[in-house]
Structure formats: C-alpha cells, structure tokens
Structure 1
Amino acid sequence: MNKVPMTVAGERSLREELDHLKSEARPQVIAAIAEAREHGDLKENAEYHAAREQQGFIEGRIQEIEGKLSVAQVIDVAKLPNTGKVIFGVTVSMQNLDTDAEVTYRIVGEDEADIKSGRISVTSPIARALIGKEEGDIVVVKTPGGDVEYEIGSVVYI
C-alpha cells in the first residue's frame, strides 16, 4: 500500500479529532440512543433515528481517520537539513513576476490543504511545479488563465 505524506501538525490534528470522537462523541451518541429508546415506539421516534444517523456518521469518520493514519508517512521537515530545495512540508515564499505580488505557501498532504491558511496540497499544480526547485529559481505554474511565472524567494524548513 502506498504511504501518503502528512505533516506533524496534520497527524496531530487527525489524532485529536479521533480522540474526541472516541472519548466524547461516541459515548454521547450511545447515551442519546439509550435515552431515545426509553421513549417507546422506535418507528415514530425522531430522536432515536437522528441519534442513530449521528452514530453512523461518527463511526464512519472514526474508520476514515484510522484509515488515513494507517497509511500516513509523517514527515517532520524541521528535523531535515535545509538544503534550500523545495520538498514536502516546507514553507515557500515566492514572487509573481507579472504582478510582483508575494505569496507564501506550505506544501502539505491533501487532507491538510487549506488555501485560505496558505497550505497547498502536494498534488496541486503550484506544489508540483515547486518540488525539487531551489531559492532563486524561476518556476512556471500552469493555471486555467495561462502560465504564471514565480521566483522562489525563500524555502523554510519549519
């Protein structure tokens, strides 16, 4: 089975969610089901059906997270020597050569990506263009609006 790259923060976030689901959400929904059962006829019992649906969601999410963690290859770039090369997990600052706008992205696993927070998936066009390049390199990113050139300013291993 192929390993999926994940940052330390991404793994921690998934483990925290898993812990919450197992230690709080699961027991709460089990209690809600038990309470709803006491109300009698299950066919007409909306609380019971809602709690069972919620239980299904929780159990599905637990399985999904456990699956992701089982194939995760956690990469801590802070422990790697900074060679100036763009690799998974680094934070890259670069300048759009057409607009002079500066952008900073952290290259993360697919589940961790959040463009608003400056985290882009390792499989995104920008990350694929950056991987293997170094500070000072010019990269061309193919976008729906055409090719965009960026100059890599800094590569930080944090």
Structure 2
Amino acid sequence: IPVHRSWRLNERHYGALQGKDKAQTLAEFGEEQFMLWRRSYDTPPPPLADDAEFSQIDDPRYAIIPSELRPRTECLKDVVGRMLPYWYDSIVPDLSAGRTVLVAAHGNSLRALVKHLDGISDADIAALNIPTGIPLSYELDADFHPVTPGGTYLDPEAAKAAIEAVKNQGKKK
C-alpha cells in the first residue's frame, strides 16, 4: 500500500501555547479564553517566538516547508487553508483514479477536512469533535460530496463515548 506523507496534514500549531497541556492552559488563561483558542474558527493563540523552546523554525523535519508557510500559530481557518491544497492536489486525483484513500491525520486536520467535505459553517465547526483512533468512513459521489453527510463511524458506540471525551478535554472537573 503506497503511503504518502504531507506536512499539510500536521496538527494545528498552537503558537505560544506549544508545550502546554489543555489543563495547564485552562488554569493559566481561564475557560473563556481557553475555549476561544481551542474551538473558534478564526482566533489563533499568540504566535510562538522564533527563539522559543518549541520553535520549529530551524527544525530539519520542517526544512521541506517554505519558510513563509511555516506557521508560528494557527487557528482552524489556517489549518483548512493548509490542508485544502493536499485535498485537491493529492487526494482528489487518487479518488478520481478509482483508488480508495485512507487519511490518517491529527484531530484538527481531520476537523478541517470534515468541515470542507460536509460544508460545515465557520460557526458550527466549533461543536465538531472527532475522536482519536476511531475510523470514520466517507463515501463520496462523483463530485466528491458525501453520500452520507458526517460520514459513518465504523464503531458508532465507541465513537459516541470518545466524542464526549474529546468534548470535555481540558474542562474543569
């Protein structure tokens, strides 16, 4: 099975929040700011300085990415913009050739892809939670629109429980 890797499917860059877990971020900035950064479509966290501990500016793993495209912070809108060229340039041609495509990616890059596939509004995307490690299948029509909006989880019961867990990540207990 051919494997294609792309930085365009990387997890969202959390800027100055890189290296902090959700609970730590919640405690430091409060629930309102935490949820704004975590779930809003177009509000990124503060950018990460190039000389910061978690900066990727000189990381050789990212040398393939043009420097002007290397993020210092991202919101989901940025992830959508980063992911869509991969959709159109790599995934769609494979689908057009009749190939079955498996996308293994991070939560926010998958949210970006699902937003695009399902035409989810900028406001409504905040409520979408995609569980880790539970396959989600999309059957697409000839125009690459979902036959079943939202796709189909291969294990719906596990998905339901995991979606709740994702929804509650970082929340005060």
TM-score by length of 1: 0.21
The structure that is strand-richer by fraction is 1
Larger Rg: 1
TM-score by length of 2: 0.20
